[in-house]
């Protein structure tokens, strides 16, 4: 959920798409400016945050990666809850991954928040000679389904920052809170754990 305060927006962003499409690579490029040629399946990191300044506000993205739970279609409802934006990633060298991306869009339309900003990313755009999915085909699909579309390359960094900036620009500025915000537990040790009294 995008929450607003003093022109600061907090927005949960989720990544979806086939294993190997480059979800984690996109995030690593965006957050750390890194690219690993042989990125392992997502283990170890699945939660990033990055702040972007757009014209009128700063947007702090909390980026959720799938942690591999998409592999056997076992993402928890928790993953979709309160997401303000989603990037559905496919690999332009794999028609299968594009077909699966469409299924992830359907899943998102079923589980997610209807005001969610959805982006379709055709990743691995640097591998032009192995291309199996045309940009035109993906653009038409995106337009028909209310997504915006970009081809990206985590390897060359092409369009990576752009896709996040575009999402930041499109986030509704005064979104009515669909669900009231709660509090996140912050580690602050309980004071006087043994001070026994129910009345202090």
Per DSSP, the three-state class of 38 is: coil
Backbone angles phi, psi at 136, to 5 degrees: -65, -45
- Is residue 66 within 8 A of residue 76, CB to CB? The reply is no
**Residues 147-166 close enough to bind another protein by CB under 8 A:** none
- Is residue 119 within 8 A of residue 149, CB to CB? The reply is yes
Residue 176 within binding range of another protein, rule CB under 8 A: no
- Is residue 26 within 8 A of residue 92, CB to CB? The reply is no
Nearer to another protein, 71 or 173 (CB): 71
Nearer to another protein, 111 or 134 (CB): 111
Site stretch for another protein (CB under 8 A), options 113-121, 135-143, 147-155, 186-194: 186-194
Give the DSSP per-residue string, 150-168: EE--TTT-TTHHHHHHHHH
Per DSSP, the three-state class of 22 is: coil
Nearer to another protein, 69 or 93 (CB): 69
Residue 174 within binding range of another protein, rule CB under 8 A: no
How many amino acids of this chain bind another protein (CB under 8 A)?
56
Nearer to another protein, 3 or 93 (CB): 3
Nearest-angstrom CA–CA distance, 58 and 152: 23
Q: How far is the CB of 66 from another protein (least distance, A)?
A: 8
Site stretch for another protein (CB under 8 A), options 90-98, 121-129, 164-172, 190-198: 190-198
Give the closest residue to 145 by CA, choosing from 109, 179, 175.
109
Nearest-angstrom CA–CA distance, 87 and 200: 49
**Residues 51-70 close enough to bind another protein by CB under 8 A:** 51, 60, 62, 67-69
Residue 49 within binding range of another protein, rule CB under 8 A: yes
Site stretch for another protein (CB under 8 A), options 104-112, 123-131, 134-142, 161-169: 104-112
Sign of the C-alpha dihedral computed for residues 195, 197, 198 and 200 taken in this order: negative
Residues making contact with another protein (CB under 8 A): 3-5, 10, 31-32, 43-51, 60, 62, 67-69, 71-74, 76-79, 81, 100, 103, 106-107, 110-111, 179-188, 190-200
């Amino acid at each position: 959920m995008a929450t607003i305060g003093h022109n600061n927006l907090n927005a949960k962003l989720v990544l979806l798409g086939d294993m190997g499409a480059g979800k984690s690579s996109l995030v690593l490029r965006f957050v750390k400016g890194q690219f690993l040629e042989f990125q392992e399946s997502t283990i170890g990191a699945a939660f990033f945050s990055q702040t972007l300044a757009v014209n009128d506000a700063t947007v702090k993205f909390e980026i959720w990666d799938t942690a591999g739970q998409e592999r056997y279609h076992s993402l928890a409802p928790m993953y979709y809850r309160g997401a303000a934006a989603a990037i559905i990633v496919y690999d332009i060298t794999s028609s299968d991954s594009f077909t699966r991306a469409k299924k992830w869009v359907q899943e998102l339309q079923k589980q997610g928040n209807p005001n969610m900003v959805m982006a379709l990313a055709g990743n691995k755009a640097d591998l032009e000679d192995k291309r199996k999915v045309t940009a035109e085909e993906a653009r038409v699909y995106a337009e028909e389904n209310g997504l915006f579309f970009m081809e990206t390359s985590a390897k060359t960094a092409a369009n990576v920052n752009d896709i996040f900036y575009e999402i930041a620009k499109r986030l509704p500025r005064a979104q009515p809170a669909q669900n009231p915000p709660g509090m996140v537990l912050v580690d602050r040790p309980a004071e006087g754990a043994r001070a026994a009294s129910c009345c202090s």
